[in-house]
Homo-oligomer: A and B are copies of this chain.
Amino acid sequence: MNDLKGKSIGIVCLSGGMDSCVTAAIAVREVLPAFLHVNYGQRTEERERRAFQQIADFYKAAPERRLCVDLDSLHRIGGSALTDEHIPVPKFERLEEGTPAILPVTYVPFRNTLILSLGVAWAEALKAERVYIGAVAEDSAGYPDCRPEYFEAFNRLIEVGSSLGGRLKVVTPLIRMKKADIVRKGMELGVPFQLTWSCYEDSEEACGRCDSCLRRIRAFHEAGLQDPIPYRG
């Protein structure tokens, strides 16, 4: 990927989940990718980091184009089921279509801002012109930091607050897509879905029952395609 001429560098936020992997597949056609992974103290970090490295291998990223940032002191902040082991991750949660009255317990305080800020800091050092993130507005009913307005506000922040000014932009290629269309797009682009990890549990096989697994299973079902990862029982 890194031998093409004329491409600028782009930072790709890569959690290791399917949305970030489809985003990576889109990014590598447009930029020389530099992959960023953030450990914010999530329970599934070990499994996610393995997915990150395997996907970065798949896209032939050199070691200097991979950055894992440890921010595990966020664990001390807590406030989310994904980082605080005293808050259970919900099971058999119904996938709500409307806006929930309360914030999901899986919301991690200001997570996307932390990830994007690290992306911008690295972009400034590498003189990159794009930071890619696989946010999906469909999820935004629960997460304030997945909405298009949020990314507009973040780009304004970069414009006034970074040394690159308006030359650097956060881009969200999946923002208006349905989950099933993301699966179809990924298949078109040869995304290695078998390497991705979406489950809120840290195990060898996905649980198939948490909110994140349910969304993924439904997306592959609606797309009429086979999910290559193994699910428990």
Binding site for B on A (CB under 8 A): 67-71, 73-74, 76-79, 103, 107, 109-114, 117-118, 120-122, 124-125, 144-145, 147, 149-150, 153-154, 156-157, 159-163, 165
| Residue of chain B at shortest CB distance from A119 | B110
| Residue of chain B at shortest CB distance from A156 | B153
Q: How far is the CA of A112 from the CA of B114 in the complex (A)?
A: 11
- Given A73-B69, A153-B161, A113 contacting B117 (CB threshold 8 A): yes
| Residue of chain B at shortest CB distance from A146 | B161
| Residue of chain B at shortest CB distance from A144 | B161
Q: A110-B161, A157-B157 are in contact. List 14 more A-B contacts (CB 8 A).
A: A67-B73, A68-B73, A79-B121, A79-B125, A109-B124, A109-B162, A113-B113, A113-B120, A113-B121, A114-B118, A144-B161, A144-B163, A153-B153, A156-B156
**Chain B residues with CB under 8 A of A125:** 77-79, 109
- Given A77-B67, A110-B124, A124-B110, A161 contacting B150 (CB threshold 8 A): yes
Report A18 CB to chain B, min CB distance, Å.
23
Evaluate contact between B67 and A70: CB separation under 8 angstroms: no
Evaluate contact between B67 and A121: CB separation under 8 angstroms: no
A-B contact pairs, 13 of them (CB 8 A): A67-B76, A70-B73, A74-B118, A79-B121, A110-B117, A110-B124, A111-B121, A114-B114, A114-B118, A144-B163, A145-B162, A153-B156, A156-B156
Report A79 CB to chain B, min CB distance, Å.
4
**Chain B residues with CB under 8 A of A69:** 71, 73-74
Q: How far is the CA of A163 from the CA of B111 in the complex (A)?
A: 11
Most buried by B among A74, A79, A111, A113: A113
**Chain B residues with CB under 8 A of A124:** 79, 109-110
**Chain B residues with CB under 8 A of A74:** 69, 118, 121
| Residue of chain B at shortest CB distance from A152 | B160
**Chain B residues with CB under 8 A of A117:** 110, 113-114, 117
**Chain B residues with CB under 8 A of A162:** 109-110, 113, 144-145
Report A135 CB to chain B, min CB distance, Å.
11
Evaluate contact between A163 and B73: CB separation under 8 angstroms: no
